[in-house]
Amino acid sequence: ALFLSCLRPGSLNPCIEVLPNITYQCMDQNLSKIPHDIPYSTKNLDLSFNPLKILRSYSFTNFSQLQWLDLSRCEIETIEDKAWHGLNQL
């Protein structure tokens, strides 16, 4: 069964919670940075088709459980040192 809901009632976060606290879909939401409202327990994160341009150091440091990350078509131009810091399970 596929479970879809808004991330949080009243939240301004454009991501869709596909599986509670596990999978979030944030594709094609015109995001210029990684959303901070996503739970740290997230294992799957789709950020594809967003104009992220720059991946800052420690952008994913709170997502130590992340196992799958989609950054395709994000127009990334710069990846700072330690942008991937904390992604030990990816």
The number of beta carbons lying within 10 Å of the beta carbon of residue 57 is 13
Q: Tell me, what's the pLDDT at 90? A: 86
Tens of pLDDT along 31-59? 999 988 899 999 999 999 999 999 999 99
Q: Domain containing 12 — which CATH number?
A: 3.80.10.10
The model's confidence at residue 7, banded by pLDDT at 50, 70 and 90, is very low
Q: Of 58, 82, 84, 56, which is closest to residue 69 (Cα–Cα)?
A: 84
Task: Give the structural domain span for 49.
Answer: 1-90
- Number of domains the chain is built from: 1
Q: Tokens 């420690």 sit at which residue?
A: 58
Contact indicator for 49, 75 with CB cutoff of 8 Å? no
Q: What is the pTM of this model?
A: 0.81
